[in-house]
Structure 1
Amino acid sequence: MNFDGFDLNLLVAFNALMLERNVTKAAAIAGVSQPAMSAALSRLRRVFNDPLFIRSAEGLLPTAKAQEIAVPVAEALGQVRNLMNPTHIFDPVTQARSFTLGLTEYPLHVLLPSLTQKLALLAPNCSIHVRYFTDRDETVPLLDAGKIDIAIGVPPTKAENRILSHPLLTDDFVTMIGRHHDVAEKGIDLKSFVAMRHILVSPEGNHYGLVDQKLREHNLVRDIGLTLPTMFSVPALLPGTDFIATVLSRVATHTANQTLINVFTPPIELPTITFHLLWHRRTQENPAHQWLRQVINDVAAACQT
């Protein structure tokens, strides 16, 4: 293809490089040889007067210019594909695809088991790769880089118009304590709550959390005796100890230790937490991605009821 002297096949090469961050892999998905892909990259650099990709230990890293043009290029190619093949659909039964999901701890435990089972039935030739992340703001660079196809987690602190999302699953906080504890049967008020030793869950390694923020509004400070990076490990640590923990309710329902713990409504008001499905605008019209997003929606809806 040629448009005013510009070879539009260079955009195909750019998109492949943006997705794979590797010349050899990009050449494979673009259907050209490695030397041809290297030559295309050289031409792209001359056209845009920018290096576009810088070599690193992690592969080719896109420059600011590459990130700027990545979404328009992907959207333009998607429109051309739809024009050339308007009836293109994704058949999960017969087609083989590989998807990479970016998951935080909560969806990893709550959604992935059911999602894996459903995908095994609906798409026997598809494979799923999971990339675990802890910082909500990792979502944008991971999607930008094409290192993940879809993310499930709490939305990033800063909204980006190239990252699309919608609410997927909600949960509320509960307070848990070992059933052996002397307050396990009678419940707990705010004064007793603050006086007890607490487990704080912080994937980022902080020593201050949402509960502490709310307590500060009442000029209260709790005693934190243990910090953990994961919330689903909490129920196993409560029996036989004096610790108390405030975590999302499905942590309690997804543990084998349910008979060993008691669960209460926290004696302080805490917000409902909403987990979102997030994806990059460049995959918005991709039939395979649309299908996968719908499957995830269905699985989350079943979990919510």
Structure 2
Amino acid sequence: MDFHGIDLNLLVAFDALMNERNVTRAATQVGVSQPAMSAALSRLRQRFGDPLFLRSADGLLPTARARDLSEPIAQALRQIESMLVNKPQFVPEKASLTFKLGLSDYPAFVLLPSLLQALGKKAPGVSLNVHAFNNRDQAVDLLDAGAIDVAIGVPPTHAVGRIMTHPVIRDEFVTIIANDHPVAKCGMSMKNYLALQHVLVSPEGELYGIVDQALAQQGKKRKLALTLPQMFAVPTIVAQTRMTATLMRRVALHSPVGRRLALFPPPVALPDVVFHLIWHRRSDSHPAQLWLREFIAEHAALL
């Protein structure tokens, strides 16, 4: 197709390159050979008078000109697609397929059991293949590689145009201690808090968390007795020791030892934790993928 001297297939190639940041993967997305995609990139550079994409250790890095072009071109292609392509509807009750879902520990523990129950009623032929990840940026790698369809976790460290997010779960921090501990009766003052030994949850292995940052701003420091990556082991550890921990409320409430814990507001102000749906822009308008994201968001809202 040619429009005033512009081959619209070049715009499709540009959009794929922005999505994938890799010539081979972009060629696969569009359905052409790798040499054909390389040739399209060469023509795009000539057309716009800009390199558009520069090679780097992390793949193709878009130039400022490419970033300016990205959203207008993507919107134009979506409008053309909506006019020309009659997309089939996704009927969950009749569907038979497997979605690949990336989950960090928190949504796997808090959301997944009830989500599966609801999914079995709404779409009995649909199954989930769950991939675990701990590093927030690992979700981007999994989405880029097509290993997962959607992830639920903390948003990536750096915003990238090809990755889309939507908040679905919010939780607050609480400080927990065994309910037979003397502090459980007298209250979690700052003095008592700093006198206790603490458990730090650090999925990425760091020895300094959000609580430590907040305390440092007040010139204070807590005593760390244990650092571990698994947050859901913490309530049991706290219930059976004299230690304390500051973690998300639902982690404590969903624990088998929840009744053996006393919960207090942390003695320092901490922001809520927000978990997002995270997906690749290439699947943004796919009917089945769209249904899955809406289903997860609606179910998460019930929490």
**Same fold per superposition (TM over 0.5):** yes
Quick one: distance in 1 between partners of 2:81 and 2:237?
Answer: 54
State the Cα distance separating 1:76 from its structure 2 match.
Answer: 1.9
Partners of 1:159 and 1:19 in 2: CA distance: 13
CA distance in 2, matches of 1:289, 1:8: 26
Distance 1:76 1:99 in 2: 29
Q: How many residues align?
A: 297
Cα distance, 1:285–1:52 mapped onto 2, change above 3 Å: same
* Pairwise CA distance, 1:90: 3.2
1:268 aligns with 267
Contact 1:197-1:224 within 8 A present in 2 as well:
yes
Quote how far apart the aligned CAs of 1:273 are. 1.5
SS at match of 2:91: coil
Taking the aligned partners of 1:66 and 1:280, their CA distance within structure 2 comes to: 21
Closer, same or farther: CA 289–75 of 1 in aligned 2, 3 Å: farther
Matched with 2:3 is 3
What is the 5 A alignment of 1:138-287? 138=137, 150-154=150-154, 167-178=167-178, 182-183=181-182, 186=185, 188-190=187-189, 191-215=191-215, 220-258=220-258, 261-266=260-265, 268=267, 270-271=269-270, 273-278=272-277, 282=281, 286-287=286-287
Residue 76 (structure 1) aligns with:
76
**TM-score by structure 2 length?**
0.73
Partner SS state of residue 90, structure 1: coil
Deviation at residue 194 of structure 1 after TM alignment: 1.8
Distance across 1 between alignment mates of 2:78 and 2:215: 50
Percentage of pairs with the same residue: 42
The verdict on how the C-alpha distance between 1:275 and 1:97 changes in structure 2, with shifts beyond 3 A counting, is farther
Q: 2-side partners of 1:55 and 1:92: how far apart?
A: 41
* Residue matched to 2:115: 115
Q: Output aligned runs, 1:61-140, within 5 Å.
A: 61-64=60-63, 66-85=66-85, 89-93=89-93, 103-119=103-119, 121-122=122-123, 124=125, 128=129, 130=131, 132-135=133-136, 138=137
- Give the structure 2 partner of residue 54 of structure 1: 55
CA positional deviation for 1:77: 1.5
* TM-score with structure 1 setting the length: 0.73
Do the aligned residues in 2 keep the contact of 1:178 with 1:238 (CA within 8 Å)? yes
Higher mean displacement: 72-81 or 186-195: 186-195
* Contact preservation (8 Å) 2:135, 2:203: yes
The 3 A distance-change label for structure 1 pair 214 and 238 is same
Q: Secondary structure at the match of 2:251?
A: helix
Inter-partner Cα distance in structure 1 for 2:35 and 2:206: 48
- Aligned residue type for 2:172: D
Give the residue type in structure 2 aligned to 1:54: R
Deviation at 1:264, TM superposition (A): 2.0
Gaps of at least 5 residues in structure 2 are none
The C-alpha deviation readout for 1:125-165, integer Å capped at 9, x for no partner, is 57556462534xx4996699686765544456888898765
2-side partners of 1:140 and 1:69: how far apart? 26
Deviation at 1:200, TM superposition (A): 1.7
Residues 131 and 34 from structure 1, CA distance in 2 versus in 1: closer, same or farther, beyond 3 angstroms? Answer: farther
Q: Give the alignment's Cα RMSD to 1 decimal.
A: 4.1
- Secondary structure at the residue paired with 2:199? strand
Deviations 1:52-82 (A, max 9, x none): 36375x7x43433555534333222211111
Measured at CA, do residues 54 and 300 of structure 1 come closer, stay the same or move farther in structure 2, by a change above 3 Å? same
Amino acid at match of 2:223: D
Does the CA contact (< 8 Å) of 2:107 and 2:153 recur in 1? yes
Deviation (angstroms), 1:238: 2.8
Q: 1:294 to 1:54 in 2, by over 3 A?
A: same
Separation in 2 of the partners of 1:292 and 1:144?
15
Q: Give, in whole Å, the separation in 2 of the partners of 1:100 and 1:68.
A: 32
Structure 1 gap segments, 5+ residues each: none
